[in-house]
Amino acid sequence: MSATPLPSGDAARDLELSHLYVTTPIKLNTPRPTVLGRPPSRAAIGGVSSDRKGWLFAWVAYMPSAAEAPALSVWPTVQRGARFDVVLPAAAEVEVLARVDTPERAVGRLAHHLRELTMATIDPDMDYLRRAVAAYRADLRRERDAAAANDR
């Protein structure tokens, strides 16, 4: 785990991540209060994403309704360095749950958080997620190696 504090608020929305796993919209058991003047959040989506250093982030985005959640077809189109603003509505609030090194830890944090919010369970294909993380990190290593070779 990283010792760096987790981003929150606008800093969380500004994270540029590659989204490796995203849940379907989940209805919250109790509405989540938001800032004054905005309707409470009644739905959420969660996910596991990676930054350009290879860290994995478990996150949840809260929205006023499940109808405002982006379609799952939006997520695979986001390959590298996409901010949450690209795929989430403006009313969504992003909460970063953890920054970890393994997909198992990221899914564990996400699953625990969602269980507390909605009593929902998630069952991602862990074999696929491990392969996706390994492939993404291998691409990052190749890019760093190529950049280092060009600098010589």
Q: 94-135, pLDDT tens digit by residue?
A: 999 999 999 999 999 999 999 988 887 888 889 999 998 998
Is residue 40 domain-resident?
yes
Total domains in the fold of the chain: 1
| Domain containing residue 138 | 10-151
Mean pLDDT over residues 34-60, rounded?
89
Examine the pLDDT at 44 and tell me if it is beyond 60.
Answer: yes
Q: 51-90, pLDDT tens digit by residue?
A: 989 999 999 999 999 888 887 666 655 566 678 888 888 8
User: Which DSSP category does 9 fall into?
Assistant: T
**What SS3 class is residue 70?**
coil
**pLDDT confidence of residue 119:** 80
Q: Going along 1-151, which residue ranges are E strands? A: 16-22, 26-32, 41-50, 56-63, 82-83, 93-100
Is residue 140 domain-resident?
yes
**Residue 90, class by beta-carbon neighbours within 10 Å (0-12 exposed, 13-18 middle, 19+ buried)?**
exposed
Average pLDDT for the chain: 86
**pLDDT confidence of residue 70:** 81
Is residue 4 domain-resident?
no
Is residue 125 domain-resident?
yes
Q: Return the closest-CA partner of residue 23 out of 52, 58, 55.
A: 58
Q: 2-35, pLDDT tens digit by residue?
A: 567 898 888 998 888 888 888 989 999 888 888 7
Task: State the sign of the Cα–Cα–Cα–Cα dihedral 25, 1, 126, 122.
Answer: negative
Taking a C-beta distance cutoff of 8 angstroms, is the pair 30, 9 a contact?
no
